[in-house]
Structure 1
Amino acid sequence: MIRRMIAEESLRYPWRMIASRRSSSGSSSSSSSAAASVAVNSILLRSLKDHYLQVSKMTPPPKVGPPSSFTIVKGALDGSGPVLKRTYGNEEISVSVMRLANIMPEGSENDDENGGINQLFLHVDVAKPGQTKSLHFLCGLYPDALGIHSVSMRPKAENLEAIELPSTYNGPVFQDLDERMRDALHHYIDERGVNELLFPFLQAWVYLKDHRNLMRWFKFVGIFINESS
């Protein structure tokens, strides 16, 4: 790959390669290696800059707000914690989201088609005051439906460091529960506003987070390469 990039560079800027050969004809092998390294770094930096500018010009998705009962967690775009929170009676509901591509291996038949985000995974925690554990739902969210994958009891986020976790029982396989209980759990989470109405906001939010992460990657890799030149 690097050799091909250098070859392309020589076709675009032949005088640079000619000058490089002339200047290195009487130099040591170490100076030749240094010159090659500078050339590779230059090509890589130019490519990173081009991609950064290209990504920066991408049109963001339309601005969408979450359902009125939820509030956006401050700083969520820069972190890996919950995105949305709300209260329901004396309960605190928090919702974290990730796209399918971050869970399933590339090339899986469940990959989002055409690079679109048509399926999201939600981590939903229902916490009550005075309780050391919360009720945790892992859900698949689609434009027109929400499905529960598992239900478990987990330590609250603030108690994770204080509690030692041996191998914990995470509850039965959700599909092994009888239909009546599965329906009741779906109704339970729907009452708390966790349903397909969250999809438009969370879809747009994931697009923005992916875009921001990609921009940062191009930027910080470029800074690292440039400083090591």
Structure 2
Amino acid sequence: MWRKALVSYAGGVLLKQPWWRTIAARLSSSSKATSSSVAVNSILLRSLKDHYLEVSKMTPPPKVSPPSPFTVVKGSIDSGGAILKRSYGEEEIGISVMRLANIIPGGGEDDDEEDDGMNQLFVHVEISKPGQQDSLHFLCGLYPDALGIHSVSMRSKMESSEAAALPVLLSRYNGPTFEHLDEKMRDALHGYIEERGINESLFPFLQAWLYVKDHRNLMRWFKSVGTFVTQAKEGASPAS
């Protein structure tokens, strides 16, 4: 350890330690460091296991089905793409969701604001038509009793498939700010998506879906961190 001096004073005269004592001190320090590392890993692994077991016993929310005619996209719980889909005439509609708190970090530091954050969802709606290169995108705030449009934009279908994640979409131009449009156009755009079933009726399913996804991600995180720590401990070379 760096706090151990390799030199000492005796009667005001600087005395150098013999080289074999220096080597012994280094070996002792290395041994203590290894022992300390094992102890720290053991504490961390025990904590990860305890939290994993605690989270695994949490009661999941009641199962909620999406409002008809929306259906759940297969495999969406483990991906970052669309969660719900439906057809409307010749149109194909896909819906993705995130918590608004995950997009605006640092918001909701007290308990009341944190609870409100659970009821604030950020929804991305993509509407596409066959034979058209572009699709229409709505970025919306969804609440238990209301839906508000943030912006409306046009994007190529290729760009949409490559940038399905909401943070990527947020980093690009999404059209004019919705509140800057005149009231007549705002009402018309609200009517357009409401006609396609995009409204507050989606909230119960999307909120329950996010609870399940968050729970699964948390379980996966505890497990993956534990696996990493275990492998690092067991895979370390004795000579390292």
TM-score of Structure 1 vs Structure 2, range by shorter chain: 0.7 to 0.9
Q: Which structure has the greater CA radius of gyration? A: 2
- Tell me the residue number matched to 2:57: 57
Kindly provide the CA deviation profile for residues 1-51 of structure 1, in whole angstroms up to 9, marking residues without a partner as x: xxxxxxxxxxxxxxxxxxxxxxxx9x6110100000000000000000000
- Tell me the residue number matched to 2:79: 79
- Listed as ranges, the gaps of 5+ residues in structure 2 are 1-24, 163-170, 234-240
Q: Does 1:179 align with 2:183?
A: yes
- Tell me the residue number matched to 2:31: 31
Gap change, CA 1:109 and 1:174, over 3 Å in 2: farther
SS across alignment from 1:134: strand
Q: Does 1:199 align with 2:203?
A: yes
Q: Which runs of 4+ in 1 moved over 4 A?
A: 108-112, 157-161
SS across alignment from 1:51: helix
Range that drifts further, 112-121 or 42-51 = 112-121
For residues 149 and 109 of structure 1, the distance between their equivalents in structure 2, rounded to whole angstroms, comes to 24
Amino acid in structure 2 at the alignment position of 1:96: S
For residues 54 and 121 of structure 1, the distance between their equivalents in structure 2, rounded to whole angstroms, comes to 29
Amino acid in structure 2 at the alignment position of 1:170: N
Amino acid in structure 2 at the alignment position of 1:143: P
Task: Figure out how many residues of one structure are paired with residues of the other and give that number.
Answer: 200
SS across alignment from 1:28: helix
Kindly provide the CA deviation profile for residues 177-224 of structure 1, in whole angstroms up to 9, marking residues without a partner as x: 110000000000000001000000000000000000000000000000
Give yes or no for contact 2:108–2:114 (8 Å, CA) kept in 1: no
Q: Does 1:215 align with 2:237?
A: no
- Once the two structures are TM-superposed, the CA of residue 160 in structure 1 deviates from its matched residue by 5.3
For residues 207 and 84 of structure 1, the distance between their equivalents in structure 2, rounded to whole angstroms, comes to 16
- Once the two structures are TM-superposed, the CA of residue 114 in structure 1 deviates from its matched residue by 3.1
For residues 60 and 35 of structure 1, the distance between their equivalents in structure 2, rounded to whole angstroms, comes to 41
What TM-score do the two structures reach when normalised by structure 2? 0.78
SS across alignment from 1:209: helix
